[in-house]
Amino acid sequence: MPRGNPSPKLAITIDPAVHESVLAAAASQGLSVSAWMTMAARETLLRQAGLAAVEQWEKQHGRFTAEEMDEARRRVGVQLQSSRQNRKPA
């Protein structure tokens, strides 16, 4: 972050078991806790935005059919598998 634009700070309280898991997850990825929490928050916000978009679409066009949901699951599975295969070893 550039000097003239410092990151805002956020103080949080979390369950001790979650705290330990966050520390371990951040360390395993070579990230600071702040970077890991930012990544986790960003992913959560993106997921919420996606769910809101699906809800809006369904309000306008009707619920997805079972076949459409099956196809979506298949596509996501392919994307996840491809993503896992393309990760570089740590």
Mean pLDDT, all residues of the chain: 91
Q: 33 with 26: CB under 8 angstroms? A: yes
Phi then psi for residue 5, to 5 deg, are -135, 70
- Residues in Cβ contact with 52 at an 8 Å cutoff, skipping those fewer than 6 apart: none
Per-residue pLDDT, 11:
92
Domain assignment of residue 50, given as a range: 16-86
Q: Is residue 2 part of a domain?
A: no
pLDDT tier at 6, thresholds 50, 70, 90? confident
Q: Is residue 3 part of a domain?
A: no
User: For residue 63, what is the DSSP state?
Assistant: P
Which sign does the torsion angle of CA 42, 48, 51, 53 carry?
Answer: negative
Q: Is residue 10 part of a domain?
A: no
Per-residue pLDDT, 4:
77
Q: Is residue 8 part of a domain?
A: no
The total domain count for the chain is: 1
Q: Average pLDDT for residues 46-52, to the nearest whole number?
A: 97
pLDDT tier at 84, thresholds 50, 70, 90? confident
Q: 35 with 26: CB under 8 angstroms? A: yes
Per-residue pLDDT, 89:
59
pTM of the predicted model over 0.85: no
- Whole-angstrom distance, CA of residue 84 vs CA of residue 71: 20
Q: Is residue 32 part of a domain?
A: yes
